[in-house]
C-alpha cells in the first residue's frame, strides 16, 4: 500500500479558507444540533483530560477513540480502575449522571458529534477504522436495553381534549389552546418548532374560504431553510390559532409569547422549555400528575392517533416530517393490536 504524500503548500487551504469553510458549515447546521455538538465536545474533552491528562487533538488518535468506546460500553459501578476514576471525575463536574453504562444512543450521539468536528476541520475521523466500527457494533449489542419512550404516554385525541377543556378564554387560555392544537394537528411538532414560529410563518390566504391556514417551518430537525415545508392546519386547530392571533393583536414578531400576570401578551418569544411548563400547568388543571406526559407526547400522540384512525403511515409522515419510516412505524407498532383498524375489515 502506498503511503499518501502530504499536499504541497499551494494545494492546502489557507487559514482564512478554513475559517470560511467552518463558518459555512456552522451556518448550515440547526442551532439545536450545534448546541448538542458543543455539549458533547465538552464531555469528550473532559473525559480525555481525566483519562490521559491531555487535550483533544485533530485528528484524534485511534487508540483514544477505541478507549472512549470501551469505557462507555461498560457498567463501571463495580469496576475500580482508571475508567471508573475518570467517570467519577465527570460526575463531579456534572457531565455524567452515574457509573452505569450509558445508553447506546448516547454513545452514538457523542461519537457523531466528535465526527462532525472532524468533518468541520476537513479531517478523517478515527471512527471510520474497521476496528472502531466493530467495537461500536459489539458494544451496542452488549449494552442494548429496552427502548424508552420520550413521553410516558402519547397525547392522543382523548387526552388532548382533556387538556383543552382546561383552557379558558383568557389570553393565557387562548394561547395554550392554540399551542396544543397546533402542536398536535400539524403533525406533532417539536417544542423548538412551535416556539420558533413567527407571525409571518402563518399563511391565512385560504382561511376565509377553506378554514385552512398554512405553517411555514423554516428549520426543523430534518429540514433546513432551503427546503422549509408548508404544512396545513385545519378546522378547530386553525380557528384556535387565528383566535389567539386576533385576541393578542399579533401583526408581526413571535407567534407565541409570554403572558404577563395581568393577562397581557408580551413582545418576547417563548423559550423552548416553556412548552414543558405550559403542558405541566394544563395537566395539573386537568387533575393529572405533572409528569403524566411530556411535550414529545404531542408528536407521539399524533402518530398514535393516526394509526388508531387508520391513516396510512406515508400520509402521517408527510405531516410529522419523519425521514425514517422505521422510526415512524414504531408508533404504529405501539398501538394495541386489538385497536388496530385492520381487525375490523369484516365489520
Residue 326 belongs to domain with CATH number: 1.10.443.10
CB 154, CB 304: distance < 8 Å: yes
Residue 147 lies in a domain: no
**Same structural domain, 258 and 296:** yes
Q: Which of 58-62, 177-181, 335-339, 341-345 has the highest mean pLDDT?
A: 177-181
Q: Is the pLDDT of residue 210 over 90?
A: yes
**Same structural domain, 115 and 250:** no
Pick the more confident residue, 334 or 31.
31
Pick the more confident residue, 69 or 222.
69
Give the residue among 61, 344, 71, 317 at the shortest CA–CA distance from 187: 317
Say which DSSP state 3 is in: P
**Same structural domain, 82 and 196:** no
Taking residues 134-146, report their average pLDDT: 71
Pick the more confident residue, 73 or 287.
287
Q: For residue 192, what is its C-alpha cell?
A: 423548538
**Same structural domain, 136 and 162:** no
Q: Is the pLDDT of residue 172 over 70?
A: yes
**Same structural domain, 166 and 313:** yes
Q: Which domain holds residue 175?
A: 157-344
Q: Is the peptide bond before 334 cis (omega within 30 degrees of 0)?
A: no
Give the end of a domain, one of 111, 142, 173.
Answer: 142
CA distance 209 to 283: 35
**Same structural domain, 137 and 211:** no
Q: What pLDDT score does 296 carry? A: 92
**Same structural domain, 67 and 209:** no
Q: Is the pLDDT of residue 114 over 60?
A: yes
Poorest-confidence range of 180-184, 204-208, 221-225? Answer: 221-225
Pick the more confident residue, 30 or 89.
89
Q: Is the pLDDT of residue 166 over 80?
A: yes
CB 321, CB 223: distance < 8 Å: yes
Q: What pLDDT score does 285 carry? A: 96
Q: What pLDDT score does 327 carry? A: 78
Q: How many residues does the chain have?
A: 347
**Same structural domain, 44 and 96:** yes
CA distance 321 to 328: 9
Domain holding 67: CATH number?
1.10.150
Residue 270 lies in a domain: yes
Residue 19 lies in a domain: yes
- What is the pLDDT of the chain when averaged over all its residues? 85
For the stretch 18-60, pLDDT in tens is 666 567 666 767 777 778 888 888 899 999 999 999 998 989 9
Residue 83 lies in a domain: yes
**Same structural domain, 75 and 127:** yes
Residue 213 lies in a domain: yes
Q: For residue 339, what is its C-alpha cell?
A: 385497536
Residue 226 lies in a domain: yes
CA distance 227 to 285: 39
**Same structural domain, 137 and 162:** no
Residues 220, 223, 226, 227: is their CA dihedral positive or negative?
negative
For residue 240, give every residue at least 6 positions away whose Cβ sits within 8 Å of its Cβ, in sequence order, or none.
174, 177, 178, 181, 182
For residue 101, give every residue at least 6 positions away whose Cβ sits within 8 Å of its Cβ, in sequence order, or none.
72, 73, 74, 75, 76, 143
Give the end of a domain, one of 142, 173, 192.
Answer: 142
CA distance 151 to 39: 23
Q: For residue 214, what is its C-alpha cell?
A: 398554512
Residue 4 lies in a domain: no
**Same structural domain, 60 and 174:** no
Taking residues 189-207, report their average pLDDT: 94
Q: For residue 257, what are the β-bridge partners? A: 269
Poorest-confidence range of 99-108, 131-140, 306-315? Answer: 131-140
Residue 1 lies in a domain: no
Taking residues 69-77, report their average pLDDT: 89
Q: Where are the beta strands (DSSP E) in 211-264?
A: 212-216, 230-234, 257-259
Q: Is the pLDDT of residue 12 over 60?
A: no
Q: What pLDDT score does 4 carry? A: 44
CA distance 136 to 184: 37
Give the end of a domain, one of 142, 177, 201.
Answer: 142
Q: Report how far Cα 105 is from the mean position of its chain's Cα atoms.
A: 13
* pTM for the full predicted model: 0.64
Domain count, the chain: 2
**Same structural domain, 66 and 23:** yes
Helical spans, DSSP H, in the chain: 15-27, 31-52, 62-71, 82-92, 104-120, 130-142, 157-164, 171-185, 191-195, 207-210, 235-248, 274-285, 296-308, 313-320, 325-334
Taking residues 86-91, report their average pLDDT: 92
For residue 195, give every residue at least 6 positions away whose Cβ sits within 8 Å of its Cβ, in sequence order, or none.
254, 256, 269, 270, 271, 272, 274, 275
Q: What pLDDT score does 102 carry? A: 86
Amino acid at each position: 500500500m502506498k503511503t499518501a504524500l502530504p499536499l504541497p503548500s499551494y494545494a492546502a487551504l489557507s487559514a482564512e479558507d478554513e475559517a470560511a469553510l467552518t463558518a459555512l458549515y456552522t451556518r448550515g447546521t440547526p442551532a439545536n444540533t450545534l448546541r448538542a455538538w458543543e455539549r458533547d465536545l465538552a464531555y469528550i474533552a473532559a473525559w480525555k483530560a481525566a483519562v490521559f491528562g491531555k487535550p483533544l487533538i485533530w485528528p484524534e488518535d485511534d487508540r483514544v477513540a477505541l478507549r472512549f468506546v470501551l469505557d462507555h460500553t461498560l457498567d463501571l459501578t463495580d469496576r475500580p480502575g482508571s475508567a471508573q476514576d475518570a467517570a467519577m471525575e465527570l460526575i463531579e463536574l456534572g457531565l455524567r449522571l452515574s457509573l452505569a453504562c450509558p445508553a447506546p444512543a448516547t454513545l452514538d450521539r457523542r461519537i457523531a458529534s466528535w465526527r462532525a468536528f472532524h468533518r468541520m476541520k476537513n479531517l478523517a475521523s478515527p471512527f471510520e477504522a474497521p476496528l472502531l466500527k466493530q467495537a461500536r457494533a459489539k458494544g451496542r449489542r452488549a449494552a442494548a436495553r429496552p427502548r424508552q419512550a420520550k413521553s410516558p404516554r402519547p397525547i392522543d385525541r382523548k387526552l388532548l381534549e382533556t387538556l383543552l377543556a382546561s383552557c379558558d378564554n383568557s389570553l393565557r387560555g387562548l394561547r395554550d389552546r392554540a399551542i396544543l392544537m397546533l402542536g398536535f394537528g400539524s403533525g406533532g411538532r417539536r417544542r423548538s418548532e412551535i416556539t420558533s414560529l413567527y407571525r409571518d410563518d402563518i399563511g391565512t390566504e385560504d382561511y376565509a374560504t377553506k378554514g385552512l391556514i398554512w405553517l411555514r417551518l423554516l428549520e426543523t430537525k430534518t429540514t433546513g431553510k432551503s427546503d422549509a415545508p408548508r404544512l396545513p392546519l385545519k378546522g378547530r386547530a386553525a380557528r384556535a390559532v387565528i383566535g389567539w392571533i386576533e385576541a393578542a393583536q399579533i401583526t408581526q414578531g413571535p407567534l407565541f409569547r409570554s403572558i404577563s400576570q395581568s393577562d397581557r401578551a408580551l413582545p418576547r418569544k417563548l423559550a423552548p422549555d416553556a412548552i414543558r411548563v405550559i403542558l405541566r400547568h394544563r395537566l395539573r388543571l386537568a387533575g393529572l400528575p405533572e409528569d403524566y406526559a411530556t411535550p414529545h407526547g404531542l408528536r407521539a400522540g399524533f402518530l398514535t392517533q393516526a394509526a388508531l384512525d387508520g391513516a396510512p403511515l406515508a400520509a402521517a409522515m408527510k405531516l410529522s416530517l419523519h425521514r425514517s419510516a422505521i422510526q415512524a412505524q414504531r408508533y404504529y407498532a405501539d398501538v394495541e393490536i386489538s385497536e388496530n383498524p385492520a381487525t375490523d375489515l369484516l365489520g
